[in-house]
Structure 1
Amino acid sequence: MVMFTPTGSAPSAAEVLHARYASRLPGSLEKLAGPAHGVVHLPPHVAWSGLRAYDLDRPRLRMGMYRTVLAEGRHEDLVNLLNRDLLLAQWPVLRTLVPRHLRQVWEDAFPELTSEDSTAA
């Protein structure tokens, strides 16, 4: 099924991606109540190939899990698997590893991701 914009034309790929990522956002970063330590097993709809278990105490694995969940997770996955404090601490690097549209949606919705306070964490 092709969706159409109010002008009658099909939406651009950028508009589709923006809408996809925006529809999954939590109401606030405080809603991100995922674990801060231990091993997390991602559901198959999030990690449909490759690694599914991530040790949050290993920075590279944690970064990989956050990248995967941000890109593939549903709203419920974001709030249950991501941790607010870890996201804020990792965002300066993580933002360079995620797709541009995803980064833009998150930074537009949550200015605290790009504030001076979050980059000092």
Structure 2
Amino acid sequence: MPAPTRDAPVVHLARPHRPVLVAGTLGELAGPTTGLVELPLRLWWGPRGTFDLGEPTMLAWMYENVLREAIRVDELRAYLDGSTLVRVWPVLNLPRAVRAAWEARHPRLRHAR
């Protein structure tokens, strides 16, 4: 990745040639906080696409996938909740670029670790 200049912001890549998508505010993330959530095939292509948000491991697994795979802000808004994201942030297994992009935009996440 080229070094950033004053005119070119740092671009974090979720994977080669794909920038990490970050919500503008944590407050706009108003996804479900309880119950069963079924992710669309675009975000999760595994055998079980339904996640029980009452189970911490499944909640973290769903958040990790949405944070890595989302390409539209409406996907972040539909499946993530800002307060829940802050709470589970320390335990999420994320690529360094995804974590760096979200923490750069939302320092509150960095402090949650």
Q: Same-fold call, TM > 0.5?
A: yes
Amino acid at match of 2:30: A
How high is the TM-score relative to the length of structure 1?
0.75
> For 1:30, what is the secondary structure of its paired residue?
coil
Residue pairs, 1:45-56, within 5 angstroms: 45-56=42-53
Amino acid at match of 1:27: G
Matched with 2:19 is 20
Of 43-52 and 29-38, deviating more is 43-52
Number of residue pairs aligned between Structure 1 and Structure 2: 101
How high is the TM-score relative to the length of structure 2?
0.80
Aligned residues: CA RMSD: 2.0
Q: Quick check: which one's helix share is greater?
A: 1
> For 1:114, what is the secondary structure of its paired residue?
helix
Which structure ranks higher in relative contact order (CA pairs < 8 Å, sequence separation ≥ 6)? 2
Matched with 2:74 is 76
Amino acid at match of 1:103: R
Offset from partner CA, 1:39-94 (integer Å, 9 cap, x none): 00001110123321000000000010000110012321111100111100001111
Identity level (%)? 34
Amino acid at match of 1:87: L
Displaced runs of 4 or more, over 4 A: none
Amino acid at match of 2:29: L
